[in-house]
Amino acid sequence: MSEKLADWTTGEAAIVYQSCAACGARQYFRRGFCASCGATELRELRASGEGTVYAASLVCRAATPETKAHVPYNIVLVDTDEGFRMMAHGDTDVAMGDRVTVRFVQFAGRVVPCFAKASQPDRTERWR
Ligand SMILES: [Zn+2]
């Protein structure tokens, strides 16, 4: 019933979120219940990997020896098109309000989601 989709935390190039069957709320962190209404009927879905940057902060000092080669790097909070907010890596030119698309990169020996500026300004009509 509650099938777990593979995502980047298990080496798959994908972002997975949960959607509540009762109230429709969406959440990024896997929980056994909906953070909005407490229902336990949650579906797992793959995100499109597109969104808008809510916040970005450039890390200039490595936290660990393994991350030293990557400095400076950007940590971003992204409001995804699916409606949940997630923290991830971002290109250093990504700033608040930018439309972004995810790709997956090697970082300190792991594959992590990293958001880059969407290649085209988004002029298409959105129906969601
Ligand atoms: Zn709910």
| Contact partners, residue 33, CB within 8 Å, separation at least 6 | 39, 40, 42
- Has domain 48-121 been given CATH number 2.40.50? yes
Contact (CB, 8 A) for 76 and 53 = yes
Å from CA of 79 to ligand 1 middle: 19
Beta bridge partners of 88: 76
Q: What is the pLDDT of residues 39-59, one digit of tens each?
A: 999 999 999 999 999 999 999
Phi, psi of 49 (to 5 degrees): 85, 15
Q: What is the mean pLDDT of the chain?
A: 90
Å from CA of 31 to ligand 1 middle: 12
Q: Which pair of tokens denotes residue 37?
A: 């209404």
Domains of the chain: which residue ranges? 1-46, 48-121
128: pLDDT strictly greater than 50 = no
Task: Record the pTM.
Answer: 0.85
Å from CA of 1 to ligand 1 middle: 17
